[in-house]
Amino acid sequence: MKLFQVRKGQFVYYKNELHKVYSVKPMFKQSVHLYRLKDMQQDITSANNIEPCRPKHNDSFIFYGRRYTIDQNKKPEPGDYILIIKPAPDFLDHYSLNEIEKVDNVEDGNVVTTRDNGVKHSEYVVLVPGKSGGSEDIAYYDKELVSEAQLEEDETTGIISYNDDFDKPVVGDIYYDMQNDTKAMIVAMTDEEAYLGHNVKVHMKELVNEDKYRLIYRFEEGF
C-alpha cells in the first residue's frame, strides 16, 4: 500500500496475518502502527509492507484468541460482539472504523456497548462465535504459507489471559467504575496495579474484568 491509502482502523495484512491499524504517523519512516487481531501483539512498519483487507459478510477471523464469523443478518443480543463498519458516532460517542465492541443492551436494533457508545443498526455487523459453514477465512493473507502446527495453535488458544501481551491498560486510559458509578483516568501504574483518578487502587486483573470496569477511552488510540 501507499502511505496516503492507509487509514486508522483499516484491516490489513502484515507478515501474512490479519492486523488493524491504530495509528498513522507520516513523519516517521516506519509510520504505520498496528496490532495483530489474533492476540493484540503490536507492530510498527511502513505502508509498503502491508496489504489491505476489507471484511465482509461471512468472513471469519481470529480476535483475541477466539474465532468469529461476520453475520450481517443476525440481530445482536447482550454479550455479543459487533464490528463497526460504517462509523457515524454522535458527539458524545467515541468509536471509529472496525472497532470491535461488546453489546451491553439493544433497543430497536440500535445498541449501547460496554464502552457506553450508542451504535446505530446501520453502522455494525454482528460477530458470531466460531466458523460458520461456507465462511471465508481472512485470518491469513495466504493460508498455504501457515504450518499445520501454527494453524492448530491459533485455533486452540482460546481467550488470552491477561499475562499475555494483550492490549494492556496504560496511563491516560479512562474507565467507568461500575461499583462507584463514576468515570476515572489511570494516573499511575505499577506492574500489577493501576491508580485511578478518583483515589481508587485496583489490580490489573480486576481492571480488565468487564463486570467491574468498562473501558471508555483508550489513550494510545485516541478514542
Cβ 14 vs Cβ 20: under 8 Å: no
> Does residue 35 sit in the same domain as residue 89?
no
pLDDT of residue 42: 82
- Compare 136 and 65 and report the one with higher pLDDT: 136
Backbone angles phi and psi of 4, in degrees to 5: -70, -15
pLDDT at 28: 82
- pLDDT tens, 54-77? 999 999 999 988 999 999 999 999
Q: Residue 220: its pLDDT value, please?
A: 60
| 113 and 93 within one domain | yes
Confirm whether 145 is domain-assigned: no
Q: Residue 13: which domain range? A: 3-53
Average pLDDT, the chain: 87
Q: Is residue 152 part of a domain?
A: no
Do 30 and 68 lie in one domain? The reply is no
In the chain, how many domains are there? 3
Kindly indicate the confidence band of residue 166, based on its pLDDT and cuts at 50, 70 and 90.
very low
- pLDDT tens-place string over residues 11-53: 999 999 999 998 898 888 888 999 899 987 888 999 999 999 9
Q: Report pLDDT for 165.
A: 38
Q: Is the pLDDT of residue 92 over 80?
A: yes
Q: What pTM, to 2 d.p., does this model score?
A: 0.74
Question: Given pLDDT bands bounded at 50, 70 and 90, which one contains residue 211?
Answer: confident
pLDDT category of residue 99 using cuts at 50, 70 and 90? very high
**What pLDDT does 22 receive?**
86
Band (171; pLDDT cuts 50, 70, 90) = confident
- CATH, residue 7: 2.30.30
Query: Is position 162 within any domain?
Result: no
Mean pLDDT throughout 90-105? 91
100 found inside a domain: yes
